[in-house]
Amino acid sequence: MRNYFHYPVPLKSSIIVFSRVSNHQKQLRFALVCFLLTILHVNCEAHDGYDLWLRYSPLPASTADTYRSAIKGWFITSQSPTANIVRDELNRALPVMLGNRVAELRSPTTQQQVVFGTTQSPLLSGLASELAGLAADGFIIKSTTVYGKRSWVVVGSTEQGMLYGAFHFLRLLRTGNNLSDIKSSPRTKVRVLNHWDNLDRTVERGYAGFSIWDWHKLPDYIDPRYYDYARANASIGINATVLTNVNANALILTPQYLQKVKALADIFRPYGIKVYLTARFSAPIEIGKLPTADPLDEKVQQWWRAKIDEIYTYVPDFGGFTVKANSEGQPGPQNYERTHADGANMLAQALKPHNGIVMWRAFVYDNKVPVDRTKQAYNEFKPLDGKFLPNVMVQVKNGPLDFQPREPFHPLFGSMPSTAILPEFQITQEYLGFATHLFYQGPLFKETLDANTFVKGNSSPVSGVVDGSLFNHQMTGMAGVANIGTDRNWCGHPVAQANWYAFGRLAWDHQLSPLSIAEEWVRMTLSNDPQVVSTVTSIMMASREAAVNYMTPLGLHHIMGWDHHYGPGPWISNKPRADWTAVYYHRADSLGVGFNRSQSGSNALEQYAPQVREIFNNPETCPEQYLLWFHHVAWNKRMKSGRTLWDEMCYHYQQGVDTVAWMKSQWESLSGKIDADTHAHVSKLLAIQLKEARWWRNSCLLYFQQFSRMPLPSGVEAADQTLEYYESLQFPYAPGIRPKW
Ligand code: BDP
């Protein structure tokens, strides 16, 4: 009898051989080894976050045993670059999670197994009808009989579907879920990351180092990170990446750079990721030497056609363009008195023969300072509904202003029924504490997706616009501004990875709950220990509301520091444009605070469906979380709690600080339960977050108190500095500042 015990550990020697010894000795040694392994397991699993949520480690013995009884080996039916990626991933994951015995089989005939493949394989073609009802790139995981053996199959109708299925299968194992029959397919088609990365490797609103695209060394030097980036995205269903900043540089469209773009596209292709670029509208002038970029000028049209044909010679499956036009100084069709539709359609026409698309952003504001900036996108785009070509999507930020901790949903959702609408979220935390604050955005994304637009009956959620079901659109997607950089852990804050993860998971399926996504992420990234899972998910789920409270409670917005948007700045005034100041947005005076967007004010509410308008227009029925977004409210107005508005505001700021203190103490309780480096890192960041939450509370309350002239209610801590002190703070080198163009 072979006398060995095989235990999967993340250490070099995973096989421990026992020599001839008595049973008692054996038991003692066994206990000792287990004890040592437990210690080593906790202490040796140090990780630096580079592996993201793809960090495989040994499953608890009983869980591994359960899986091993159903999985003796695995087999891949396809042969393709994508199949090789699946093979690598399984080889990377299964031996660690389940032990070396669960290995690749030469043929699928011998034992209980998992078969990965597509319905093109004769072995799996019988499942084609089951996959037929699923959207492209969906997959099924199913228990079935293969050559007489009860087995699991992971099948897509495409190679990409198989890849997504394989990652999902591993996710089930990694999170300790029971294997059961699953059908899954993406609810949106273009699941795209927008990188605001410049060619000099700075990242606009980036807080995790420099751009991961090493343009200078491309295409000859291929950073291994490119593969890891693609792998991480594929694991959560992201299938598109816009490599360059929306504040675009035309150089990216020149041959010198297109070679570099090609190198990246070639790497990403087998992972099912298409490459897109930002198109600078004035490129025909800047690199084409034409006198104009007028979209109706024939020479301009010809130039773009030739340029686009050229791009496809480098990247045959090039996805298309994202365009920011006539916004914040970017050139666009309005420079030539043409509309956004004229501009978008010109590019769409040239992309069409190649199946490329245009993602045309609705984040616009022109040179005239508007009465209410939140109305501008709707005013410019709503009249263009039905005028865009079918391969154009209008890309709309989640709220009508600009990625605030909380905004009502953007009124363009649902109001352009004949146009494909692509929502844009900001995964990078420009207004959300940079990469210093723990701010889990799952609840924020979901709040927008679940918001009821009432545009088509009583149940018309934004998600119905996004997945195309509300107006029967085939072109669908979800865009997120990436929070990725060269920091070893990719996103700066160890927990900021969860926002990238949540974005991908929700773009795939907006029905998932932020809590379940957080739990998956914690289990895959930190630990399956129930205490860790429940504590970290509670911290994550509390974090969004905490930040709203200590930054912009009750509907306040855009009172961050000037330009860099770091820290509080409700006093910001006297800037080149009124709508670049905080006082424009909060409108505090001796009577009250808030922006009146009701019928008696800017009437931004007219842009919403009547049912929404009715609820929001009346300060008595307007949800308090949006109160100061839509109303100018008296300081002594009675709130639902019975407190005055002033007292309520004070309590919200205090509550924000208290929640961060609670988050910190909860995190401390996990010492020794998760890897020490990650624990220490997050712990230090939470200390900064607590300090900054107090800074927000103190400075905002001192500032608004000048207008309310009311005392702080009991239980709200007084500031330890003067308002002048807070106003004097300057941060000329805060990260992520946009370059001056
Ligand atoms: C704002 C950012 C700015 C971006 C702009 C955009 O401050 O850096 O260029 O959004 O989305 O929030 O175009």
pLDDT at residue 25, rounded to an integer: 55
Judge if 420 and 496 occupy the same domain.
Answer: yes
User: Other C-beta atoms within 10 Å of 212: how many?
Assistant: 22
Indicate whether 87 belongs to any domain. yes
pLDDT of residue 448: 98
Give the end of a domain, one of 152, 184, 216: 184
Peptide bond into 219 cis (omega under 30): yes
Q: Among the listed ranges 101-105, 296-300, 459-463, which one has the minimum average pLDDT value?
A: 101-105
d(CA 207, CA 191): 22
Residue 179: which CATH number?
3.30.379.10
Which pLDDT belongs to residue 14? 29
**Is 722 a residue whose pLDDT tops 50?**
yes
**Residue closest by Cα to atom 11 of ligand 1:** 363
Mutate to test the pocket of ligand 1, among 204, 245, 365, 431 (most ligand atoms within 8 A of CB): 204
Task: Measure 428 CA to ligand 1 centroid, in angstroms.
Answer: 11
Domains identified in the chain, total number = 4
How far are the Cα atoms of 19, 156, 405, 524, 568 from residue 731, in angstroms, in the given order? 66, 51, 21, 37, 12
The yes-or-no verdict on residue 703 having pLDDT over 50 is yes
Question: Which of 16, 100, 94, 14 minimizes the C-alpha distance to 57?
Answer: 94
Per residue, what are the HEC states of 80-138? CHHHHHHHHHHHHHHHHHHCCCCEECCCCCCCCEEEEEECCCCCCHHHHHHHHCCCCCC
Q: In the structure, what pLDDT confidence band is assigned to residue 30 with cuts at 50, 70 and 90?
A: very low
What is the per-residue pLDDT across 599-636, written as a single tens digit (0 to 9) for each?
A: 999 999 999 999 999 999 999 999 999 999 999 999 99
Q: Are residues 370 and 504 in the same domain?
A: yes
Where among 184, 217, 241 does a domain terminate? 184
Distance CA 608, CA 393 (A): 21
Q: Is 685 part of any domain?
A: yes
With a cut of 70, say whether residue 76 has pLDDT above it.
yes
Cβ pair 590, 709 in contact under 8 A? yes
Q: Mapping DSSP to helix (H, G, I), strand (E, B) and coil, where does residue 8 land?
A: coil
Q: Is the CB of 205 under 6 A from ligand 1?
A: yes
Mean pLDDT of the chain: 93
Domain carrying residue 146 = 61-184
Q: Check whether residue 448 and residue 573 sit in a common domain.
A: no
| 348 has pLDDT over 70 | yes
Residues 168 and 266 in one domain: no
Question: pLDDT tens-digit profile of 106-154?
Answer: 888 767 899 999 999 999 999 999 999 999 999 999 999 888 888 999 9
Strands 633-634 and 592-593: antiparallel
* Pocket lining: 324 vs ligand 1, CB cutoff 6 Å: yes
Q: How many CA atoms lie within 13 A of 310 on its CB side?
A: 14
Which pLDDT value is given to residue 108? Answer: 80
How many angstroms is it from 431 CA to the middle of ligand 1? 11
pLDDT for 143: 95
Q: Per-residue confidence at 28, pLDDT binned at 50, 70, 90?
A: low
Q: Is the pLDDT of residue 346 over 60?
A: yes
pLDDT > 50? residue 77 = yes
- Across the range 661-670, mean pLDDT stands at 98
The CA 68 to ligand 1 mean position distance, Å, reads: 50
Asked whether the predicted pLDDT for residue 21 surpasses 50, the reply is: no
Long-range pairs, 448-452, Cβ under 8 A, ≥24: 448/398, 448/399, 448/409, 448/423, 449/423, 449/506, 449/510, 451/408, 451/409, 451/413, 452/612
pLDDT at 740: 58
- For Cα atoms 468, 470, 472, give the angle at the middle one, nearest 5 degrees: 55
DSSP string, 221-249: S--THHHHHHHHHHHTT--EEE-S-SS--
pLDDT category at 73 given cuts 50, 70, 90 is: very high
Q: Residue 4 pLDDT > 80, yes or no?
A: no
Nearest-angstrom CA–CA distance, 205 and 402? 13
Helix ranges (DSSP H) in 297-339: 298-314
Q: What is the DSSP string of 503-528?
A: HHHHHH-TTS-HHHHHHHHHHHHT--
Q: How far apart are the first and last CA of the chain?
A: 75
What is the mean predicted confidence (pLDDT) over 439-462? Answer: 98
pLDDT of 41 reads: 43
What is the C-alpha R_g of the chain? 27
Q: Which atom number of ligand 1 is nearest to the Cα of residue 330?
A: 13
364 in the same domain as 340? yes
Query: By C-alpha distance, which of 319, 320, 321, 394 is closest to 364?
Result: 394
Distance CA 9, CA 56 (A): 11
Cβ burial, residue 75 (10 Å; 0-12/13-18/19+): buried
Q: Across residues 659-667, what is the average pLDDT? A: 98
Structure tokens belonging to residue 218:
């491309």
Query: Do residues 685 and 590 share a domain?
Result: yes
Q: Name the burial class of residue 476, with classes exposed (0-12), middle (13-18) and buried (19+) by CB atoms within 10 angstroms of its CB.
A: buried
* Mean pLDDT confidence for 303-313: 98
Tens digits of residue pLDDT in 358-405: 999 999 987 777 889 999 999 999 999 999 999 999 999 999 999 999
pLDDT at 5: 26
363 lines ligand 1 (CB under 6 A): yes
d(CA 288, CA 282): 9
How many residues in total does the chain contain?
A: 741
Residue 566 CB–ligand 1 contact under 6 Å? no
In a domain, 74, yes or no: yes
Q: Are residues 248 and 297 in the same domain?
A: yes
Q: Which of 297, 402, 529, 717 is catalytic?
A: 402
pLDDT at 443 over 70: yes
**In 3D, which of 392, 340, 345 has the Cα closest to residue 362?**
340
Q: Does the pLDDT value for residue 555 go beyond 60?
A: yes
pLDDT at 20: 40
Distance CA 579, CA 607 (A): 19
pLDDT of residue 106: 86
Percent over 70 (pLDDT), the chain? 93
Residue 357's DSSP bridge partners are 320
CA distances from 284 to 198, 298, 301, 302 (A): 20, 12, 9, 10
Q: Which residues pair with 153 in a beta bridge?
A: 115, 142
Tokens of 523: 């289990």
Tell which atom from ligand 1 comes closest to the C-alpha of 431: 12
Under 8 Å CB-to-CB from 55, ≥6 apart: which residues?
47, 524, 525
Q: Tell me whether residue 738 is in a domain.
A: no
Q: What is the mean pLDDT of residues 705-720?
A: 98
Whether 205 shows a pLDDT value over 50: the answer reads yes
Q: What CATH number is given to the structural domain containing 684?
A: 3.90.1330.10
Looking at the fold, whether 465 and 418 belong to one and the same domain comes out as yes
Q: 268 in a domain, yes or no?
A: yes
Domain end residue (candidates: 493, 511, 529): 511
- Is the separation of the CB atoms in 139 and 155 below 8 Å? yes
- Can you tell me which residue has the tokens 């974090």? 543
Q: What are phi and psi of 570, to 5 degrees?
A: -60, -15
Query: Is the residue at 4 inside a domain?
Result: no
What is the average pLDDT across 81-95? 97
Report if residue 238 sits inside a domain: yes
pLDDT at 39 over 70: no
Q: Is 402 a catalytic residue?
A: yes
For the segment 265-279, the average pLDDT, to the nearest whole number, is: 98
Position 699 in a domain: yes
CA of 572 to the centre of ligand 1 (A): 18
137 lines ligand 1 (CB under 6 A): no
128/253 same-domain check: no
CA distance 226 to 269: 12
H or E element at residue 69: helix 61-70
* Options 159, 294, 342, 430, the catalytic residue: 430
Mean pLDDT over 405-433 rounds to 98
**Does 499 lie in the same domain as 354?**
yes
Nearest CA to ligand 1 atom 12: 402
Average pLDDT on 583-612 reads 98
Using the mean position of ligand 1's atoms as its centre, give its distance from the Cα of residue 426 in Å. 10
347 and 388, same domain (yes or no): yes
Q: Out of 104, 310, 328, 450, which one is annotated catalytic?
A: 328
Do 150 and 116 sit in the same domain of this protein? yes
Q: Is residue 4 a contact partner of residue 15, using CB atoms and an 8 Å limit?
A: yes
For residues 301-312, one letter each, b for 16 or more C-beta atoms within 10 angstroms of the residue's C-beta and e for the rest, the string is bebbbebbeebe
Mean pLDDT for 231-237 is 98
